[in-house]
Structure 1
Amino acid sequence: MEIITSGFQSDLDGRISENVRAVLVVESADLAQKMVLGLPIFIRTLRQLRQAGFKEIWMVSRHLENLRPLLNRFGMLEYIQLSHDTPHFESGVSIFSAQYHYESEFIRWVHVKKITNPSDYLGKINPMWWHRLEDSKASLKAIEKKIFQNIKDKTEGWVAPHLNKPVSFAMTRQLVKTDLSPNTITFVNLALAVLTALLIMNNNYGWRVLGAILMQFSSIIDGCDGEVARIKILSSRFGAWFDTIADDLANNLFWLGVFVGLFRTTGNTFYFNGGWVLFGLSFLVSLFLYYQMMTRTKSANVKDFVPAWSDKPASAKEGWFEKVRPLMKRDFFVFLMFVLLILDLRVLLFWISTVAISATFLVHGASFVLSLVRRR
């Protein structure tokens, strides 16, 4: 049997031209209320339907009174319409079952393609994108495993998938059981970055080691906000931009700690003055990047950025920029800083950072200028 595993993203990138209704059929209230990573399975699907762009969402069940408290608790009553029987629509409706777990990408694809019966396609798509819910712990564990695996499969870089994710996943499993929002996690991590910078600039080696450890820990936590947002279907444009800007602020704070610490230890003003110059270049890189993300890629996610001279999306993984992208990712550079700080090789870190920041400034600056020229 042919398994559909490609072509989805190109379909999802297209415009949605009309409103499509979605109907979620809840046959078993007991199954629908099963908790998977902090959410009842039917609440997860309703949030996914809303996130995918379905503006009219119906939930059909003979057990509405049993389900209404959970709908109210998770704030879904204002977004959906309830019925004991499936309403009749002549066209423009997609019917889902609460007895299945669906990946968000599949639901978005169903929306774009205006598919009436998504269940007809379950045997043809990647099995990681759906799971039939059964009344067993093994079934719930299988869904959890698929959710985390799908997140890991979309994680880029050399360090994050292999070193950061095993730890962040363990933390996220606990965080989804709380009411902490992804934005709260981002804010806490930014506050941790401030403390880290203060420790890194300390004259005492022991405090700097603690700062280095906290810096790597911050890099791990950086994955938790996005994981919680995806698992609990709480992603938002504001949250994505907040996360991106907070990451850049944290990176600059870490760099501030490095060059101020070198100046305090050696008394050499070269590190202090040169560090501030590089700090300014790093700030400009962020501005160049944000402008292009807002005007060209229309995305708040840095991984979607492609330089102005490229005519292919980042997902194509082609060109020299894509080959060096892992070197510019936060997970790699923070890990490199962590190692060099532990080894007390701050001078080497200063010069590596000088080369890295300067090269990044030239690349993003050239792309920024080219994007300005093309917009005229």
Structure 2
Amino acid sequence: MYDYLIIGAGLFGSVFAYEATKRGKSCLVIDKRDHIGGNVYTEKIEDIHVHKYGAHIFHTNDKATWDYINQFAEFNRYTNSPIANYKGELYNLPFNMNTFNKLWGVTTPAEAKQKIKEQREAAKITDPSNLEEQAISLVGTDIYKKLIKGYTEKQWGRAATELPAFIIKRLPVRFTYDNNYFNDRFQGIPIGGYTSIIEKMLEGIDVKLNIDFFQNRNELEPLAHKVVFTGMIDQYYDYQYGVLDYRSLHFETKVLKDIENYQGNAVINYTDRETSYTRIIEHKHFEFGTQNTTVITEEYPKEWEPGDTPYYPINDAHNNEIYRKYKALADKETNVIFGGRLATYKYYDMHQVIAAALTTVQKEFITY
């Protein structure tokens, strides 16, 4: 008998397994994929650490979380400074003085603020009823049309006028010449990739891959006193209240032989509606690679269907109500712990997953 059966070898499950093992508990970690790491998994291709499930840049303002993850890896000084490509026009993200200068030729914050103010007033939107109106009311029409509309419609698979306003509660606008996407104090990429972090967390712990919990549930559950579940909560309860909706992604990864530098930046977003992918990732730039070859990934959003990897929960009123019903069931469980993106139906950045896992550990192992 194990103390814990942990379903999912991603960040949440791996942090929990590491901490439980430190406390003398025995753990069995399973994952239906053929690798550990979940969506932060990196694979070495042509001596380049490829982010197999989209770009992952670690960032946090919480020193405790930063110190925690640094025990497993050394981080480089990578700063996330994505570029937006709108029909061949290149703009800095997030929206800042470099962006405004390229758009309008303005050179001072006062000029940029006035330009946005004029466009907002011309739109005469007092009570935004959809995402388009919300975005224009925040940043004006030019920024919306070139840098928000097409990208957002591709990401969500529907017209911006059909998306609720709450999706864009705010938009990062900086009146400084600062291309750093995040405001967080700590930021970087682990030297050697994310997979090595998970390997260190799971060192000495029993791990079984290519194991589908739901196909082997009757055999697996009796193996441990408690279950830590990081999969889809609606699937755990056999969809009795309905299926929770997600957006998914499709990745096309290409090795470009004898091309040292394809696009000059790790991430370039394609913000026009006509380009079918939302962004291209050139992985070597995450670690300042100098290889003669490069690896790029085109990222395509898609509707989630059963069997696809779920990435982004659709936290509208309908889905949130379904989740509340599952959450009520989960709260009654005494031998099952739910954690991570899918089990809590909430989008997490990596630092938030780690913090949530450590909070769960504290609750589980609290001593009186």
Higher strand share: 2
> TM-score, length-normalised on structure 1?
0.24
Structure with higher Rg: it is 1
Higher RCO structure, 1 or 2 (CA under 8 Å, sep 6+): 2
TM-score by length of 2: 0.25
* Structure richer in helix, relative to its length: 1
